[in-house]
Amino acid sequence: MPGMPCALPTGGLLPHPQHTMMEIANVSSPEVFVLLGFSARPSLEAVLFIVVLGFYVVSILGNGIIILVSRMDVHLHTPMYFFLANLSFLDISFTTSIVPQLLANLWGPQKTISYGGCVVQFCISHWLGATECVLLATMSYDRYAAICRPLHYIVIMHPQFCLGLALASWLGGLTTSMVGSTLTMLLPLCGNNHIDHFFCEMPLIMQLACVDISLNEMEMYLASFVFVVLPLGLILVSYGHIARAVLKIRSAEGRRKALNTCSSHVAVVSLFYGSIILMYLQPAKSTSHEQGKFIALFYTVVTPALNPFIYTLRNTEVKSALRHTVLENCCGSAGKRAQI
């Protein structure tokens, strides 16, 4: 009734609003998360540390060399190598957002990551994962234009258009990451802080929530469709047109040359999407979850290290550019020393 005093809690004192907010914050956001990772197999951690460190070093060096060579050699100032340099930079960033923390957890008994570190990790990994999907679709369109419309290739893939496609890839991935990350950070976790994985991943954080996550799931499914399924569809359509164009080429040499320009990209797409499909087709069993960790280890650590080799082993342009760059630098340094 109006004018009636509010009932007081036991003790006759109303709780201080600031204390209540602090308690809610403490319950909602734990200070640290425990990344269980491979702790169930402690004998494997030392081996994994060496393997992961090796692949990380190879990934940094390999992708760094591709970026350097594609910038220094004028013969590689083409749309294909512009997008490849973007992919290499993305791979370096993606592995660096995950591997240092993974190495720290594999090395010592401490398996924790701060709340802020976890947020940064799932924001960046989500951003770069979505960006890579769009970037791979963009690269397939570049191959389509090169093979199916060779006479108009320079007009279609002009520098401003390529820059726009690259920016759209990066900004699109950033947008979906910001939306998904914001919704995830708003979820109260009620003290749950154990993540059965080796890095912070958005769906796993959502599973810790003690409230309804229907909105988060809806956003995640929509983002997956836009940034995973649609780019894959565009890649398949592009290669459908490419396959039809290649079949129309009469000379065996012409077919071989056309296929060689696409083989590296097809291999990278197969590795990337193959890992994702295997990851999400795993049945909901504990053994399958353990297998899922190794699949995740493959696409976060191994695939970025393999990409530079895939693009260089069968690519004469990159190999000759690398050889030319190395010889030019060596000879230039030797010449300068001789003059001195």
What pLDDT shows up at residue 253? 83
Domain layout of the chain by residue ranges: 32-280+289-323
Radius of gyration, CA atoms only, the chain? 25
- DSSP assignments along 231-281, one per residue: HHHHHHHHHHHHHHHHHH--SHHHHHHHHHHHHHHHHHHHHHHHHHHHHHT
* pLDDT value, residue 8: 38
Rounded distance, CA 186 to CA 189, Å? 9
Question: How many C-beta neighbours within 10 Å does residue 318 have?
Answer: 23
Q: Could you tell me the pTM of the whole model?
A: 0.84
**What's the pLDDT score for residue 281?**
66
Which tokens sit at 68?
A: 């350097």
Q: CB under 8 Å to 221, separation ≥6 — which residues?
A: none
Strands 32-35 and 112-114: antiparallel
Give which of 189, 235, 174 is closest to 26, Cα–Cα.
189
Do 220 and 179 contact (CB within 8 A), yes or no? Answer: no
What's the confidence (pLDDT) of residue 285? 55
Give dist(CA 261, CA 146) in Å, integer: 9
Contact indicator for 174, 181 with CB cutoff of 8 Å: no
Distances (CA, A) of 8 to 17, 20, 22: 14, 15, 21
Q: Rounded to the nearest 5°, which phi and psi values hold at 141?
A: -65, -40
Q: Are 118 and 110 in contact (CB under 8 A)?
A: no
State the fold for domain 32-280+289-323: Rhopdopsin 7-helix transmembrane proteins (1.20.1070)
Q: What is the mean pLDDT of each run of 10 residues along the chain (340 residues)?
A: 42 41 49 86 90 96 92 86 95 95 88 90 94 96 93 93 96 96 88 86 87 90 93 95 90 82 89 84 60 88 92 72 67 51
Dihedral sign (CA 171, 176, 179, 183): negative
The whole-angstrom separation of Cα 90 and Cα 134 is 12
C-alpha span between 21 and 154 (Å, rounded)? 60
